[in-house]
């Protein structure tokens, strides 16, 4: 699904709409061919992650179906709330390294479907290059 700039841009725009409405910043994203990773941060006292996910999926699904005549999403999603001791940029590093892990790119810089809505791609890649890899356990 997420192998063309047209579709990625369409879905990302709707994620941005949902983020704006629900009080979130999109710190990092990576569109893989069959799924998407998004790191968001609440920016308002009433930010509600479940409402963001609901709105973003609804908006993106509507426009995707209008464009392709196909459904986009499965009924659920996987989420993880970061604990205080978890470094945001280390999590972002995991996200931008996904294409490397799956053999889709040699470096995050060459993968076209990742970035941030808060900083430039160059700044994102610099920040994650300075972050410690997350411990696997």
Model confidence pLDDT, tens digit, residues 4-34? 999 999 999 999 999 999 999 999 999 999 9
Looking at residue 123, its pLDDT comes to: 96
Average pLDDT over all residues of the chain: 93
Q: Which of 99, 96, 105 is nearest to 29 (CA)?
A: 96
Model confidence pLDDT, tens digit, residues 61-79? 999 999 999 999 988 888 8
The DSSP annotation for the chain comes to ---SHHHHHHHHHHHHHHHHHHTEEEEEEEE-SS-EEEEEEE-STT--HHHHHHHHHHHHHHHHHHHHSS----S-----PPPTTS-HHHHHHHHHTHHHHTTS-SSGGG-TTEE-SSS-HHHHHHHHHHSPPPPP-
Task: Check: CB of residue 47 under 8 Å from CB of residue 96.
Answer: no
All domains of the chain in start order, with CATH:
5-130 (3.30.70.1290)
């Amino acid at each position: 699904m997420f192998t063309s700039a047209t579709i990625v841009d369409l879905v990302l725009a709707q994620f941005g709409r949902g983020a704006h409405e629900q009080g979130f910043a999109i710190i990092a994203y990576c569109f893989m061919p069959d799924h998407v990773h998004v790191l968001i941060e609440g920016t308002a006292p009433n930010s509600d992650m479940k409402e963001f996910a609901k709105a973003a999926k609804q908006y993106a699904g509507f426009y995707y179906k209008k464009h392709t005549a196909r459904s986009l999403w499965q009924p659920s999603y996987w989420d993880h709330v970061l604990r205080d001791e978890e470094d945001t940029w280390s999590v972002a590093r995991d996200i931008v390294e996904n294409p490397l892990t799956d053999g889709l790119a040699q470096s995050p810089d060459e993968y076209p479907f990742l970035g941030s809505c808060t900083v430039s791609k160059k700044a994102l890649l610099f920040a994650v290059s300075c972050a410690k890899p997350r411990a696997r356990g």
